[in-house]
Amino acid sequence: MDSLALEVEDLVMHFGPVRAVDGVTLRIRQGSVVALVGESGSGKSTVGRCIVRLLEPTGGTVRLAGADITHLNRRRLRPHRRDVSIVFQDPAGSLDPRLSVGDIVGEPLRLMRRKDISAKVSESLRRVGLRPEVAQRAPHELSGGQRQRVSIARALISEPRLLVADEPTSALDVSVQAAVLNLLADLQRDLGFACLFITHDLSAVEYLADEVAVMYLGQLVEQGPRARIFGSPAHPYTQALLSAAPVPDPAEQRARRPVLLGDDLPSAIDPPPGCRFHTRCPVAVDTCRTVVPERRTIGEGGHQVACHLVNDDGTGPDVRPVASQSQLLSPGREAP
Ligand code: SF4
């Protein structure tokens, strides 16, 4: 079996009464990209923050390259810091405005007391498509896209095994989003780090991810290889998300019929009993309101789903209008 960069087992993160994350289990193989998708408020960014230990989980375990870091204190975490980095959504908020770009990018190495930091900063800036002279500048002198490149250079300078990219393009101008995504994809391929790509942008997922995990109200409802999730999504929530995702072809986009979920995401303070999705699910039955659906494997490649109505062979409800179902199977994508 391939070695694992990350193992998250039954992760729980509660903030007082708010059950932001409630039993998430996720593995990322060395060198592969897993996309964690879901609406805002689903808890996906909280999962990312637990993995890089900006938060100490309420329950469960987080293992980085086999080492349990779930409850390590600051001092004992230090040796593991180089194994994982995070890139945040908003580069303006995550870069210290009082420091030069060079100091920001080199900071992880300074904390590790490494030598030759300025040479490594230049190399890291070059890698993300910035000239080494940018090291002398202040973050506010750069554009949004350049600042996000600086964040990426900083995250990768310690050559981590795992990068958590938390909505890395959603605060950027649409015109630069594709360039930053391309950069991340190229770097991932060249450097071979594993990546947890947290996003609500399903078109980016299709382009970058090997596997997809779909989160709803603090829990994973479906996960599996990208082609399976896009080609034959089994969970009604995944089907609804995919039916609403924009497609590049304008004619196809006009013909799309998204599944309307109606109500907003319910509160994580008092999540619905049974299947948490039952208040919005178009095909919910009585059992859904009282019995929690277990996660089951329904196909090859570890495709798993938590829904009472999905059969063991993956067949089951399809809440998408017929037109949307066929549009998902555009050329080049694997049919179920
Ligand atoms: Fe819908 Fe029931 Fe499946 Fe939940 S378990 S997704 S409510 S059909």
Q: Tell me the domain boundaries of the chain.
A: 4-209, 232-328
The overall average pLDDT reported for the chain is 90
Instruction: Give residue 203's pLDDT.
Output: 80
305 membership: H or E segment, kind and range: strand 304-305
Q: What are phi and psi of 161, to 5 degrees?
A: -75, -25
Q: Which of 320, 236, 204 is nearest to 328 (CA)?
A: 320
Q: Which of 282, 277, 313, 321 is nearest to 296 (CA)?
A: 313
Mean pLDDT, residues 17-26: 97
Residue 323 and residue 294: Cα distance in Å, rounded? 30
How far is the centre of ligand 1, averaged over its atoms, from the C-alpha of 328 (Å)? 22
Q: What is the DSSP string of 14-35?
A: EETTEEEEEEEEEEEETT-EEE
Instruction: Give residue 155's pLDDT.
Output: 96
Would you place residue 325 in the very low, low, confident or very high pLDDT band (cuts 50, 70, 90)?
low
User: pLDDT digits over 45-54, tens only?
Assistant: 999 999 999 9
Would you place residue 321 in the very low, low, confident or very high pLDDT band (cuts 50, 70, 90)?
confident
The protein residue whose alpha carbon is closest to atom 7 in ligand 1 is 278
How far is the centre of ligand 1, averaged over its atoms, from the C-alpha of 6 (Å)? 29
Strands (E), 121-261: 162-166, 194-199, 211-216, 219-225
Range with top average pLDDT, 79-93, 237-251, 292-306: 292-306
Residue 157 and residue 154: Cα distance in Å, rounded? 5
Alpha carbon of residue 103 to chain centroid: 28
Please say if the pLDDT value at position 327 is more than 70.
no
Residue 26 and residue 294: Cα distance in Å, rounded? 15
| Mutational pocket test of ligand 1: of 217, 239, 241, 283, the residue with most ligand atoms within 8 Å of the beta carbon | 283
Task: Give percent of the chain above pLDDT 70.
Answer: 93
User: pTM for the complete prediction?
Assistant: 0.91
Q: Which tokens go with 333?
A: 């994508």
How far is the centre of ligand 1, averaged over its atoms, from the C-alpha of 165 (Å)? 30
Helices (H) and strands (E) in the chain, counts: 13, 12
Mean pLDDT, residues 320-332: 54
Instruction: Give residue 332's pLDDT.
Output: 39
User: What are all long-range contacts of 323-326, with beta carbons under 8 Å and residues at least 24 apart?
Assistant: 323/255, 323/256, 323/257, 324/242, 324/243, 324/256, 324/257, 324/258, 324/259
CATH topology of domain 4-209: Rossmann fold (3.40.50)
The protein residue whose alpha carbon is closest to atom 4 in ligand 1 is 275
| Mutational pocket test of ligand 1: of 285, 292, 294, 296, the residue with most ligand atoms within 8 Å of the beta carbon | 285
| CB 280, CB 271: distance < 8 Å | no
Would you place residue 183 in the very low, low, confident or very high pLDDT band (cuts 50, 70, 90)?
very high
Mean pLDDT, residues 267-271: 93
Please say if the pLDDT value at position 63 is more than 80.
yes
Please say if the pLDDT value at position 121 is more than 60.
yes
Mean pLDDT, residues 189-210: 91
Would you place residue 174 in the very low, low, confident or very high pLDDT band (cuts 50, 70, 90)?
confident
Please say if the pLDDT value at position 302 is more than 50.
yes
Q: Which of 232, 242, 221 is nearest to 307 (CA)?
A: 221
Q: Which tokens go with 178?
A: 């594709």
**DSSP character for 286?**
H
Residue 159 gets the label, from left (phi > 0), alpha (psi -120 to 50) or beta, of left
| CB 53, CB 77: distance < 8 Å | yes
